[in-house]
Chain A
Amino acid sequence: MNREVKKFSSQEPINMSSSDLGFAKKVGQVAGTDLNSCLTCMSCSGGCPMYPYMDYGPHGIMRLAVLGLKKEALTSTTIWRCVGCHTCAAVCPMAINIAGVMDYLREECLSDKLPVGDVPLMQFHRAFLTSVRFHGRSSKVELMGLHKLFTLGSGPKAWMQDAVLGVKMILKRKLHLLPSRISGSGLSQIRKIVTGPWRSR
C-alpha cells in the first residue's frame, strides 16, 4: 500500500459548511473523554505506527471531530487503518482516549451505512467476528479463508497473498486446521453478543 498525503497539509481553507458542532460532545460522551482538551500537538500521530498510511492521522480525526466534520471523519481511511494499539492514548499529554474515539467512529460509520474507508480491513474484522459466531472462539485458518471469500473482488493478488506461507504454517501445525469450540448453549449466548450493523456489510 502507498503512503498517503495528508488531507490537512494543503493551504486550502477548511470547508465548514457541513459542520455539526454537537458531534465532538457526542463522541466525547460515548468514548468517555473530552475532545476539546486536544492541544493539536500531534503527539498521537507521532506515536501512531500506521500514520504514514492514513489520510488524516489521529490528530486530524481529533480536529475533524472538534470541528464537527462528521462525514469526513466517518469516511476516512484513518479510522479503519487504526490497529487499536493505544499508543496515541498513551502518549497524549491531555490523556484523551483517542483509541476509544476510533472505535466509536468505526461503529458510527457502519450504523450510518456510510462508505467504508478501507474495505479489506473492515472485511477482516467481519471475517473474524463471523468465525466467532460459528464457534464462540476464533480460528485463524477459517478467518483467512473467510477473509479471502469476503474480498474476492480485490483480485488475484489478494487471493494468492501469503497462501504458500499459510499452507506451510498449517503443515507445521503452527496453526491448527480445526477450531476449538464452546458448548451449544454458550454459542447461542455468544451470537446474541457478537452482532451489529457490520453483519450486513
Chain B
Amino acid sequence: MSDYLMEASYFPGCTMKTGVEESNLPMQIVLSKLKVKLEEINDWNCCGSSSGHAMNHEIPVGMGARNFSRITPGKPVVIPCPNCFRNWATAKHHLENEPETKKKYEDSFGRLATDVQLLNIYDLYYQVLKKAKEDSVTFENTKPLNGLKVAVYYGCSAMYPKDLRPTDQPKDSVEQVMKDLGAEVVVWPWPHQCCSAFVSAVYPEIAEEFITKIVGGAAAAGAECLVTTCAMCQMNVEMRIISSNMPNPMPIFHLNQLMAIYLGEKASAHGDWWKFHLVDPVPLLKKVSLWD
C-alpha cells in the first residue's frame, strides 16, 4: 500500500514558481504532514491568467488543453492559485462540452485527460480536515490558533463562477478550516471583494481605494489579520497598505502558513517565510502566543 493518503498532479502556476516562497514553503510542509504527494506537471505552461481570456477566448482553452495533455490520467490536479483554477476549469468545461474543440487540440497535443478532478488548495484542506473529523483522526503536535482574530478574504476568483466549482464544497470552506484550526473567524463585509487584480499595476489609486475598504472593513469587524488563499490578493493588499501609508496596517497571511503553524511548525523557526512580507506579521504572532 502507498504511504500517501493522496497522490496528485501539481500545477504551481507562474506566481508560485517565481515568487511567493512564503506560501510555497509552508505548503510543501503541510502537504507532507497530511500525507499528500504532489508531482509537478512536466513542462507545464501558463494558464492564460486574466489577460488571456480578455484578449482572445481561445487562449485559455488552448493553453489549458496543452496542460491537460501533460497530466497523469486518473490523478487529481492541485492548483494553488484561484485564477489558475478558474482558467483550468474554463478550459475543462469547453473541452468536455465541445467535441470539435477537443479534437482540434488532441490532434496537436495528444490525449487530453479532461476527466480528472481539479482541486484548489483549500478544497484539499477542507476535504482532509473533514475526513479527519469523520474518522476521528487526530494530527500530532497540533497548535490551535487560539486568540487569532481573522477575517477570511477569498478575493473574487476563489468562489465564482459557481458552475465551475466542485459541487461538494460549501461556500464557506475556508471559514470552516479556520474554525477547525481554532482561530476566531470574524463576520465582515468584504470576503469576496475584488482586490483590483491587474488594475493595481496600471491605476494604483484604484487599488488603494479597494484595499483601504477591505482592510478598514476587517478592522471594524474586530479582525487583527486577514487570511487568503490567493497570492495575487495577498500581494496587492500588502503593496497597497504600504503605498497608501495606511495608518493601521494589518498583516495578511497565506492559508498555508496558518495551516503549517497549526500542524506544529514553529513560527520562530521560519524567518524564511516572514521575511517576504511587506507588512510584518511577527508582532501579531508574538501577541497571540503563536511565535514559539
- A positions within 8 Å CB-CB of B: 1, 30, 49-50, 53, 81, 83-87, 89-90, 99, 103-104, 106-107, 110, 120-121, 124-126, 128-129, 132, 136-140, 143-144, 147, 161-162, 165, 168-169, 172-176, 178-180, 182-183, 186, 189-190, 192-196, 198
Q: Residue of A at shortest CB range from B66?
A: A189
Evaluate contact between A180 and B18: CB separation under 8 angstroms.
yes
Supply 11 further A-B pairs (C-beta < 8 A) apart from A138-B14, A162-B239, A175-B18.
A1-B206, A30-B57, A120-B202, A121-B199, A125-B55, A125-B198, A137-B46, A140-B14, A182-B43, A189-B108, A196-B55
Contacting pair B54 A106 (CB below 8 A): yes
Q: Which residue of A lies closest to B242 (CB)?
A: A165
Cα distance A90–B57 in the bound complex, in angstroms: 20
| Given A125-B55, A139-B18, A182-B43: A84 in contact with B66 (beta carbons within 8 A) | no
Picked from A89, A138, A168, A198, the residue with its CB within 8 Å of the CB of B46 is A138
Q: Is the Cβ of A128 less than 8 Å from the Cβ of B57?
A: no
Instruction: For A147, give its contact among B49, B161, B199, B202 (CB under 8 Å).
Output: B202
B51-A136 in contact (CB<8A)? no
With known contacts A81-B199, A182-B45, A129–B59 Cβ distance under 8 A? yes
> Given A125-B55, A189-B108, A194-B52, A172–B161 Cβ distance below 8 Å?
no
Kindly identify which residue among B63, B86, B239 contacts A165, using a CB–CB cutoff of 8 Å.
B239
Known contacts A53-B206, A125-B55, A194-B63, A137 near B14 by CB under 8 Å = yes
Using a CB–CB cutoff of 8 Å, the interface residues on chain B facing chain A are: 14-15, 17-21, 43-46, 48-59, 62-63, 66, 86, 108-109, 156-157, 160-162, 192-194, 196-199, 201-206, 210, 235, 239, 242-243, 275-276, 278
Indicate if the CB atoms of B276 and A173 lie closer than 8 Å.
yes
CB distance B206 to A129 under 8 Å? no
Pairs across A and B, CB under 8 Å, 12 listed: A85-B160, A87-B194, A99-B161, A103-B57, A125-B54, A128-B49, A174-B278, A179-B18, A183-B43, A186-B66, A189-B66, A189-B108
Taking a contact as CB atoms under 8 Å apart, the answer to whether B210 and A49 are in contact is: yes
In Å, the complex CA distance between A36 and B279 comes to 48
Q: Is the CB of A83 within 8 A of B201?
A: no
- Kindly identify which residue among A83, A189, A195 contacts B50, using a CB–CB cutoff of 8 Å: A83
8 Å CB contact of A125 from B46, B51, B108, B210: B51
Determine if A193 and B62 form an interchain contact, defined as CB atoms under 8 angstroms apart: yes
A193 contacts across to B, CB distance below 8 A: 58-59, 62-63, 66
Find chain A residues with CB under 8 A from B203 CB: 1, 53, 120
Find B204's partner among A90, A121, A161, A198 (CB 8 Å cutoff): A161
* Chain B residues near A129 (CB-CB < 8 A): 51-52, 55, 59
Q: Compute how far the CA of A126 lies from the CA of B49 in the bound complex, rounded to whole angstroms.
A: 12
Q: Is the CB of B243 within 8 A of A165?
A: yes
Contacts of A30 in B (CB 8 A): 57
B202 and A86: CB pair below 8 A? Answer: no
Our pick among B63, B196, B201 for the contact of A124 (Cβ within 8 Å) is B201
* Chain B: CB-nearest residue to A104: B57
With most chain B CB atoms within 10 A of its CB, the pick from A126, A129, A139, A144 is: A129
Please indicate the chain A residues that have their CB under 8 angstroms from the CB of B55 in the complex. 106-107, 110, 125-126, 129, 196, 198
- Distance of B13 from chain A, by nearest CB (Å): 9
Chain B: minimal CB distance from A96 (Å): 12
From the candidates A176, A180, A186, A196, name the one contacting B56 in the complex (CB within 8 A).
A196
CB-CB < 8 A to B19: which residues of A? 140, 173-176
A90 touches B162 (CB 8 A): yes
Report the Cα distance A199→B286, complex, angstroms: 51
Q: Which residues of B contact A194 (CB under 8 A)?
A: 48, 52, 59, 62-63
Residues in B with CB closer than 8 Å to A144 are 201
With contact pairs A132-B46, A180-B18, A198-B56 given, residues A189 and B162 touching in the complex (Cβ less than 8 Å): no
